[in-house]
Amino acid sequence: MPVVEVPADLIGSSGLYNSTDPLLRRLRLEDQQGSPITDVAKTFKDVEVLIIYAGSAEGANNVVELHKNLNHLIKHQKSAAVIYCSTDVDAKLALAVTASQPWYRMTFFDDSDFAPLAQGAAEVTDVSRGEDFVHAGEIEVEAEVVPFGTTEDPQDYVRPLSRAAVGMTIRAYATPSIAIYNIPKHRFLAYNVRDRAFLPERVPKNYYEWKQGAPESFKIWDLVHHMRYQIIALVLFALYQLLIFVGGEEYNFIPGLMDQLSWRMRQLGAPIEAPTQLSDLASKAADLAAEVTGHVELA
């Protein structure tokens, strides 16, 4: 890790980065009242699981139940904490989301590069404490790499992560997006965790796994839900082929149907090339195994 000079405003404030954990020491946080966390090691000494929540004010009414469940979790699981990462470009909107929530939040004034994704320019002009925050682009091209899975010297200063950089790190390509981080293991366990993972009846099992540091287990129902249209197409295609096999070619009605559709479209002045086989459907069916291999959506 390259040596970074401590900003003048941070001299004597090593508590901001005095944790050995590679993620915690790169976060600039505020508590529930908006006061800065000046001793990160002390603040999180009893915390084992971090719930990194990237959200925005837009659509806040749709996540009321999620917020309720997150609060229920941290109330009953004392070794858990929620860190909110706002993706808003308006400080007032960012504060409105966390106004009555028992969460930690990332400092807003970090020069986050959300502007290209926003309607207008970001309002950030003065960067917190004069620090050079890591941008999302640096994470994306690996110009800045966080050494997850290891510990670091708590006395060494490292550049903090901006909200945008954290969003890129946890793969938050839409909001809300939640990732699970295990502090003792110093690594992320799950990304894009589904809201239902925080239902009170599911938390005991899920939290046990997160606390143990076990990666999110594969759940077949999530795969079925995610690929339901491909699976339906595959089943229909199989039934159609079975019908032809049992009843003969007279039941192979789709080519004729496609020909009729093509003729009608040409009559309307919009010629199309009608397929004589269900090649597109068969292709989807053939690609099913590849999608299973690449599927990473978590419960």
Question: How many CA within 13 A on the CB side of residue 22?
Answer: 18
One digit per residue, pLDDT tens: the chain, 299 residues? 566 888 877 877 889 999 999 999 999 999 999 999 999 999 999 999 999 999 999 888 899 999 999 999 999 999 999 999 999 988 898 899 998 899 999 999 898 876 443 344 344 445 667 789 999 999 999 999 999 999 999 999 999 999 999 999 999 989 999 999 999 999 999 999 999 999 999 999 999 999 999 875 555 655 666 677 888 888 988 888 888 888 888 888 888 888 888 888 887 765 555 444 445 544 555 455 445 444 444 45
Is 3 part of a structural domain of the chain?
A: no
Taking the model in full, what pTM does it have? 0.70
What is the full DSSP assignment across 24-76?
GGG--EE-TTS-B-S-HHHHTTT--EEEEEEE-STTGGGGHHHHHHHHHHHHH
The enclosing domain of 14 has a CATH number of 3.40.30.10
User: Which tokens in the block code for residue 183?
Assistant: 């502090």
Please count the structural domains in the chain.
2
Residues 123 and 242 in one domain: no
Residues 22 and 101 in one domain: yes
Residues 203 and 228 in one domain: no
User: Which tokens in the block code for residue 187?
Assistant: 């690594």
Residues written for the chain: 299
Question: How many CA within 13 A on the CB side of residue 17?
Answer: 22
Domain membership of residue 121 as a residue range: 8-217
